[in-house]
Amino acid sequence: MQQFVNEIEILTRLRHTNLVTLYGCTSRRSRELILVYEYIPNGTLADHLHGDRVKDGSLTWLVRMNIAIETAGALAYLHASDVIHCDVKTNNILLDHNFNVKVADFGISRLFPNDVTHISTAPRGTPGYIDPKYHECYQLTSKSDVYSFGVVLVELISSMPAVDMTRHSQEINLANFAINKIVKCAFNELIDPSLGFDSDTKILEMTTSVAELAFLCLQTDRDMRPTMVEVLDTLKEIQISEFDNEKRADTNLSGNEAKIVTALPFPKSEDKFMLKQVKSLSSPNSVTDKWVTCSDITTTK
């Protein structure tokens, strides 16, 4: 019931082209609690990346960049509206026939007044996407969504799931796997080869830049993570910088959107030694992991 009411209250406040539209609902006194949404026919982003809708060539790099930008725009809008999504993941990013984004599932979203630094609450969300600081100390902020979106960015460039029990124990979480590869500059071991990065210099530059942006989003220190507005601006800069005016017009970016705000500096190769000093905390590896407090955590080297 709480999630039912919460989703209604939040969605009735919001209007954005990349957020799913709520058409109606049953009353709280009904036998069944039903929410009626617009129909989004093309499944989830997860379906197309590593699920039952995977098709060779259907998610080109340009399509993935547009998905990243539209999702970032929706999250930036939420944060500007004092809402934290709390469950950003590829299963909650719906796609229409043209692969336009509709962010869904606001059942555990939280209102976040702009006069507070964080909300103290027991961690909720999906293992593999949960901000390790939120998991560790029960403090939710908008930067928790940024961390989760960082995982989504890694999924977009790698086509790998957020959690994979067949990977090495320290890399079951995609976030840890990606950080290890980025620190070593082993982008060829992270980026999906089907995207053509090995034969197209522009795609190589763009996917590498997105990987570096994801690295910033996945920082353990929240203060080092960008805001969603900064993430959005950086993604637009990556997209525009690699294409001429004719190709830029094909991406349907408006003139105003093409005016790039100062973007975040990406880690350069000479800064590699600094990246190696970043030690990530693991988000829960599976749904069987219990939630723990700071005092319960044992740090291992």
Catalytic residue among 52, 56, 87, 244: 87
Q: 3-state DSSP call for residue 252?
A: coil
The single-letter code of the amino acid at 275 is L
Active site residue 105: no
b/e map 145-155, b = 16+ CB within 10 Å: bbbbbbbbbbb
**H helices of the chain, where?**
2-11, 45-50, 61-80, 132-137, 142-158, 174-183, 201-217, 228-241, 245-250, 272-275
User: Would you say 234 and 264 are in contact if contact means Cβ atoms under 8 Å apart?
Assistant: yes
The catalytic residues are 87
